[in-house]
Amino acid sequence: MDCRLRPDESHGGEGLTAARRLDGTACAAQIRSEIAPRIAAFIQRHGRPPGLGVVLAGEHPASEIYVRNKIKTVAAAGCYAELFRLSAGATLDEALALVTRLNAREDVDGILVQSPLPEGMGPGAEQRVFDALDPTKDVDGFHPYNVGRLVQRRPTLVACTPLGCMELLEREKIPLRGRHAVVIGRSDIVGKPMALLLLHQDATVTICHSRTADLPAMARTADVLVAAIGRPGFVTRDFVKPGATVIDVGINTLTTQAEVFRCFPEGSRKRAHFAEKGSVLAGDVHPGVEEVAGALTPVPGGVGPLTIAMVLRNTVTAAENRVS
Amino acid sequence: MDCRLRPDESHGGEGLTAARRLDGTACAAQIRSEIAPRIAAFIQRHGRPPGLGVVLAGEHPASEIYVRNKIKTVAAAGCYAELFRLSAGATLDEALALVTRLNAREDVDGILVQSPLPEGMGPGAEQRVFDALDPTKDVDGFHPYNVGRLVQRRPTLVACTPLGCMELLEREKIPLRGRHAVVIGRSDIVGKPMALLLLHQDATVTICHSRTADLPAMARTADVLVAAIGRPGFVTRDFVKPGATVIDVGINTLTTQAEVFRCFPEGSRKRAHFAEKGSVLAGDVHPGVEEVAGALTPVPGGVGPLTIAMVLRNTVTAAENRVS
């Protein structure tokens, strides 16, 4: 008997049934093209483009890249996007004062404060800054008022990463109603809003985390598995029910050979990339999952572009809401 | 072999291992006794008691009972509690105007708007009234700002029923960390805040609802099962893993013999009570679960008294927060 003919066993083999690749880059491009007429209409009606103010404090290499990508995408779409820098030694009061100024600016519809803030601002500084945002400008959806409205399933600005994951699931026609969705990770910025959004689409939702007993077994009950842990290659094939949809939210930069070798098999392009560049991106999902999952988001090119597309969409939505 | 010696099989028998009864009435009395010195200290320091304003619109028999019990408990503890009635024909604007007056009153620390509001106030009236509450006086925890702070695990006023359930679980020393908690029901007032509170105690949490596939099987994976559906006797023994803790949030009034006969076995005191009074209370959990569960809240005398104790505690907390 040729086991290659039995797809239900193929996860024991090597690459016999590769998971469908959920192309976040293409999906994000589609979303941007849908937003374009809204931006044009806004400009025509109000004589100015929707505006985004991005606050970046200190020097954090990953933050620089994120912020640059967000500003580039928002500006390329025809919005106004401005970076507001604070030094690494800036105080919490200076950050709050900047937010107050941006709250008052008529041409700034959305405000995004890039995490993390410098440690010198003290513990809890980020939430205090998010609290200070005008909720109507809170394009990251981190203000408690917006979080509460999300829980209550009311129109609001929702955190960009989980919102982007939902867009991808919907556009890729992954069924959610009555399906079991398992979210690994319970952060305020991904895990919890993700669970709420899935619940609102009538999934049965389980939130797992570091204290979950037998996490692989729980994850294996999922029809849709969302990995948002921030640990490279953490979700291995034993976490995944054959045919499940796996959304990999992790964007981890690997800089040691040991990590790269653990996460990527011999002959992998990622190993070659690391050898050449000295670092490589890895998701929270181990590549071996490709052979078990029915569909999977790549890293990079999966959730990342959708997060940025949602920054753009939330900015336009905030602008439309503010003038209406 | 005498199967009565095998507790793991006892759920096939009749009453061989009755679930431990989680006594909400006793737990609520304990909580009230712990709050008493806080009330005395508040009065001594501020020359007035913590105050609760309760808004009741229209005539709804169950609401009358709930409101009476809440006011009685809060007043008996030494707080000030006042009922503000609106007629069944009152408009939404009248309800909002009343809330505005109560927001401004210095002697009112907590405001509770009893649901449901009259249909004539229009769809969404309740949430509009909750939104109008000063969040610092929102003892029901229904304002989106408070809901968001709950999600973010920050100090806030939390919905009384799930908060009461958590108090009971903690005082009865039911382990939660790493355990699987399944919440059936996803309402804003019970299901969702309950799931968040369990998550914050490090449980792995699943939210089930009317669209969940094979609900009994999912419920049977729970170490702690919370039933908040509002359907009498819905959770039968096939929903319950032997030894699980079951929290019954349902308070359903049965008024037909067919319902009573479906929910309660022959010879049950509930049947006798119904024959005498014409109605009887039933939880969402079928009495047969007693023979499977490890611990179970009764109805009445389980979650109900704890909800009311939490109204009292939230009122005192709101008062303390407002003056500090």
CB of B260 within 8 A of CB of B210? Answer: no
CB of A165 within 8 A of CB of A224? Answer: no
Count of alpha carbons within 13 angstroms of residue A232, beta-carbon side:
18
Min Cα distance A145 → chain B (Å) is 4
Instruction: Give the tokens for residue A267.
Output: 């002959």
Largest CA distance in chain A: 71
Q: What is the pLDDT of residues A3-51, one digit of tens each?
A: 333 444 444 444 457 899 999 999 999 999 999 999 999 999 999 999 9
Q: What is the pLDDT of residue B324?
A: 87
Min Cα distance B178 → chain A (Å) is 5
Tokens 């078990």 belong to which residue?
Answer: A292
DSSP3 helix / strand / coil % (chain B, rounded to 5)? 50, 15, 35
**Rounded to whole angstroms, how far apart are CA atoms B215 and B231?**
14
Q: Which residues of B touch A146 (CB under 8 A)?
A: 144, 148
pLDDT at B20 over 80: yes
Helix axes B160-171, B303-323, angle to 10 degrees: 110
Q: Which residues of B touch A180 (CB under 8 A)?
A: 213, 218
Tell me the one-letter amino acid at A94: E
What are phi and psi for residue A80, nearest 5 degrees?
-95, 130
**Strands B245-248, B252-254: parallel, antiparallel or unpaired by DSSP?**
unpaired
Cβ–Cβ gap B199/A207 under 8 Å: yes
Task: Determine the topology of domain B159-307 in CATH.
Answer: Rossmann fold (3.40.50)
Min Cα distance B170 → chain A (Å) is 18
B208, closest residue in chain A (CA to CA): A204
Q: Which residues pair with B86 in a beta bridge?
A: B57
DSSP string, A74-96: HHHTT-EEEEEEE-TT--HHHHH
Cβ–Cβ gap B204/A213 under 8 Å: yes
**Strands A295-296, A20-21: parallel, antiparallel or unpaired by DSSP?**
parallel
CB of A81 within 8 A of CB of A52? Answer: yes
**Rounded to whole angstroms, how far apart are CA atoms A23 and B118?**
49
B218 interfaces chain A, CB cutoff of 8 Å: yes
The top-level CATH class assigned to A47-132 is alpha beta
How deeply is A60 buried, as exposed, middle or buried, from its count of CB atoms within 10 A (0-12, 13-18, 19+)? Answer: middle
Q: Which residues of B touch A179 (CB under 8 A)?
A: 213
List all residues of chain B from 128 to 157 with a beta carbon under 8 Å from chain A.
Answer: 143-149, 151-152, 154
CB of A41 within 8 A of CB of A70? Answer: no
Cβ–Cβ gap A212/B218 under 8 Å: no
Cβ–Cβ gap A211/B204 under 8 Å: yes
Name, in order, each residue with C-beta under 8 angstroms of A154's C-beta and a sequence gap of 6 or more.
Answer: B127, B144
Rg of the Cα trace of chain B? 21
A135, closest residue in chain B (CA to CA): B145
User: Residue B275's Cα: distance from chain center in Å?
Assistant: 28
pLDDT at B31 over 50: yes
A154, closest residue in chain B (CA to CA): B144
Q: Which residues of A touch B179 (CB under 8 A)?
A: 213
> Any idea which of A263-267, B13-17, B234-238 has the lowest mean pLDDT?
B13-17
**Rounded to whole angstroms, how far apart are CA atoms B196 and B200?**
6
Q: Which residues of B touch A127 (CB under 8 A)?
A: 152, 154
Q: A1-6 long-range contacts, Cβ below 8 Å, gap at least 24?
A: none
The top-level CATH class assigned to B46-149 is alpha beta
Instruction: Give the tokens for residue A172.
Output: 């890729």
Tens of pLDDT along chain A (324 residues) come to 333 334 444 444 444 578 999 999 999 999 999 999 999 999 999 999 999 999 999 988 889 999 999 999 999 999 999 999 999 999 999 999 999 999 999 999 999 999 999 999 999 999 999 999 999 999 999 999 999 999 999 999 999 999 999 999 999 999 999 999 999 999 999 999 999 999 999 999 999 999 999 999 999 999 999 999 999 999 999 999 999 999 999 999 999 999 999 999 998 999 999 999 999 999 999 999 999 999 999 999 999 999 999 999 999 999 999 998
Tell which residue, B189, B164, B212, has the closest CA to residue B23: B164
Name, in order, each residue with C-beta under 8 angstroms of A217's C-beta and a sequence gap of 6 or more.
Answer: none
A193, closest residue in chain B (CA to CA): B151
Tell me the one-letter amino acid at B46: H
**Strands B295-296, B245-248: parallel, antiparallel or unpaired by DSSP?**
parallel
Tell which residue, A165, A48, A44, A24, has the closest CA to residue A105: A48
Percent of chain B topping pLDDT 90: 92
Q: What is the pLDDT of residue A92?
A: 97
Of A204, A207, A212, the CB nearest to B208: A204
Rg of the Cα trace of chain A? 21
In angstroms, what CA-CA distances link A204 with A181, A183, A223, A310?
6, 11, 10, 25
Q: What is the pLDDT of residue A16?
A: 53
Tell me the whole-structure pTM to 2 decimals. 0.94
Q: What is the pLDDT of residues B42-85, one digit of tens each?
A: 999 999 999 999 999 998 888 999 999 999 999 999 999 999 99
Query: Within 10 A of B66 (CB to CB), how many other CB atoms are there?
Result: 21
Of B127, B152, B178, the CB nearest to A147: B152
Q: Which helix (H) or strand (E) holds B205?
A: strand B204-208
Min Cα distance A140 → chain B (Å) is 14
For chain B, give me the number of helices (H) and strands (E)?
A: 11, 11
Q: What is the pLDDT of residues B160-194, one digit of tens each?
A: 999 999 999 999 999 999 999 999 999 999 999 99
Tell me the one-letter amino acid at A157: L
Catalytic residue among B23, B134, B138, B140: B140
User: Residue A12's Cα: distance from chain center in Å?
Assistant: 31
Tell which residue, B267, B268, B274, has the closest CA to residue B252: B274
Q: Which residues of B touch A149 (CB under 8 A)?
A: 144, 148
Q: What is the pLDDT of residue B4?
A: 38
Helices (H), chain A: 24-46, 61-76, 92-104, 125-132, 144-151, 160-171, 191-200, 215-219, 257-263, 269-277, 303-323
Name, in order, each residue with C-beta under 8 angstroms of A78's C-beta and a sequence gap of 6 or more.
Answer: A36, A39, A40, A43, A49
Q: Which residues of B touch A147 (CB under 8 A)?
A: 144, 147-148, 151-152
Instruction: Give the tokens for residue A258.
Output: 């040991």
CB of A212 within 8 A of CB of B177? Answer: no
List all residues of chain A from 48 to 77 with a beta carbon under 8 Å from chain B.
Answer: none
**Rounded to whole angstroms, how far apart are CA atoms A303 and A298?**
8
Q: Does domain A3-22+158-304 have CATH number 3.30.750.80?
A: no
Chosen for mutation from B206, B209, B220 (greatest number of chain A CBs closer than 10 Å) is B206
Coil vs helix vs strand at B142: coil
Q: What is the pLDDT of residue A106?
A: 97
Min Cα distance B199 → chain A (Å) is 8
Helices (H), B186-302: 191-200, 215-219, 257-263, 269-277
* Mean pLDDT of the B3-9 span: 38
Q: What is the pLDDT of residue A186?
A: 98
Tell me the one-letter amino acid at B64: E
Q: Show me where the domains of chain A are located.
A: 3-22+158-304, 47-132
List all residues of chain A from 88 to 127 with a beta carbon under 8 Å from chain B.
Answer: 127
Name, in order, each residue with C-beta under 8 angstroms of B253's C-beta and a sequence gap of 6 or more.
Answer: B62, B279, B280, B281, B282
pLDDT at B13 over 70: no
A/B interface, count of CB pairs below 8 Å:
101
Can A3-22+158-304 and A47-132 be said to share one CATH topology? yes
Q: What is the ipTM of this complex?
A: 0.94
Cβ–Cβ gap A144/B143 under 8 Å: no
* Mean pLDDT of the B21-40 span: 98
Name, in order, each residue with C-beta under 8 angstroms of A221's C-beta and a sequence gap of 6 or more.
Answer: A180, A182, A206, A241
**Rounded to whole angstroms, how far apart are CA atoms B117 and A299?**
50
Q: Which residues of A touch B159 (CB under 8 A)?
A: none
B277 tagged catalytic? no
Coil vs helix vs strand at A7: helix
A206: left (phi over 0), alpha (psi -120 to 50) or beta: beta
Q: What is the pLDDT of residue B311?
A: 98
Catalytic residue among B23, B114, B192, B241: B114
